[in-house]
Structure 1
């Protein structure tokens, strides 16, 4: 099977040249060009759950293939027009047929895919910052926007632990199959912003989690896909191939051509 992977599309962010429909048809064109049979999207499709799920439906109709996704932190942002909590949105995604939350995908006797948003647990921040300081989300005059745009019934470290516990159940469910694990938040410190850094000594707190560390030792994870950090990088560590295929914001692209950027971002796993 030929599996395509990409993350951090942010289709609803204001683009000077491209509409949501442009993202849809250019990504579909690349899926067809690369002969992708299954597409995995590792979160941050948009900042509105309605746009996210509509995009998935439209893209499936255009490509004619199966698509699975995990929500990113932006996908949990609360629409200004609704009194909807992030927990409500999480429950919505759990019921969505293309969402991987609580729904591992068995490909065959040898392979399975497990996916979840994951959440950050503050462990990637510099040790000089207290938990209370990090929890404020405020540093050097800026505010981590999840603190403004999401609402959860628990703090971030507790949410990270709860999400990791849910992933453990899914990992156990797929048996001894080789696993492709997909998250949105980072689960390997190689993807954190290198420090010392004036800002990310602090903001790395919101990049990744250490709650998944033991999974790589306990389960036959062969590929680990993640997003969130808006750069593109991959490496192999102790037999596990880690891939971060972020499209990111247009100001972060190397060109101003969306088709080129999608082509450079989309990665393929052949199993």
Structure 2
């Protein structure tokens, strides 16, 4: 099976292209590369209805199964009229969302997914937990602070996400696992320190709560997004993949189809 993986499409952040342009380009790449199953590791858009519609449109137009986990942007509630918790409930009710519903590919493979959440452990230790909880530094505000309204603090949310992921893996623990998160679970994907800004903002990039998962289960692939890096490496038998498309200003070219093609990683399983 040919599995395509991509993250951080941000289909509503381009200054000229529309979500339909992203949709058309992504479908062309899917067809060109003969992808049979598409995995999206979060941050489709800044509005849950737009994210939901985009995923449904890709599935219909590409005529393949599309699975996703929401990213932090997909939970932004400021302009939706509902809370982030209600947005989560909407996603979980979708057949495409992996949270609480692992996807069995065949007798050997399964896909498990969860957004995860940041637990501040990737920040420079010089910052106190109180300082990090402000989510403001050098005049910049981490936008989740004002656009997401979770009813609990970040570290508790990270722990809950890890526990939910373990619960889901337990359902398919005898299979080889493709694990998909949005939040980074390996420090190699954090911004290298020292860094004037990310010594602080790395706090909101990753989590250490998933560490035990990699030693306790047969994780073969670990897909994540969030950082807008494109990188792949192997460590201790796990292939870590960060296939972010990212914002237009971060692209190497102005050609959306070329950028999607370069960002998308392909996994082949039997």
Residue 154 (str. 1) matches residue 155 (str. 2) = no
- Structure-2 residue corresponding to 1:67: 66
Counterparts of residues 1-271 of structure 1 (less than 5 Å): 1-16=1-16, 18-82=17-81, 84-271=82-269
Gaps of 5+ in 1: none
Q: Deviations over 1:210-239 (max 9, x none)?
A: 000000000000000000000100100011
- Contact 2:4 2:266 survives alignment (8 Å): yes
Q: How far apart are 1:79 and its partner, in Å?
A: 4.2
> Secondary structure of 1:268's partner?
strand
Pairwise CA RMSD: 0.7
Instruction: Return the TM-score normalized by structure 1.
Output: 0.98
- Contact 2:47 2:80 survives alignment (8 Å): no
- Contact 1:48 1:79 survives alignment (8 Å): no
The CA distance in 2 between the partners of 1:5 and 1:14, in whole Å, is 21
Instruction: Return the TM-score normalized by structure 2.
Output: 0.98
> Secondary structure of 1:114's partner?
strand
Instruction: Find runs of 4+ consecutive structure 1 residues off by over 3 angstroms.
Output: none
> Secondary structure of 1:255's partner?
coil
Q: Deviations over 1:217-266 (max 9, x none)?
A: 00000000000000100100011000000000000000011011011111
> Secondary structure of 2:211's partner?
coil
> Secondary structure of 2:49's partner?
helix
Q: Deviations over 1:143-175 (max 9, x none)?
A: 000000001111000000001100000111103
- Matched length: 269
Q: How far apart are 1:81 and its partner, in Å?
A: 4.6
> Secondary structure of 1:61's partner?
helix
> Secondary structure of 1:51's partner?
helix
The CA distance in 2 between the partners of 1:153 and 1:94, in whole Å, is 18
Q: Deviations over 1:56-82 (max 9, x none)?
A: 111111100000000000000004251
The CA distance in 1 between the partners of 2:92 and 2:163, in whole Å, is 15
Gaps of 5+ in 2: none
- Contact 2:78 2:148 survives alignment (8 Å): no
- Contact 2:173 2:218 survives alignment (8 Å): no
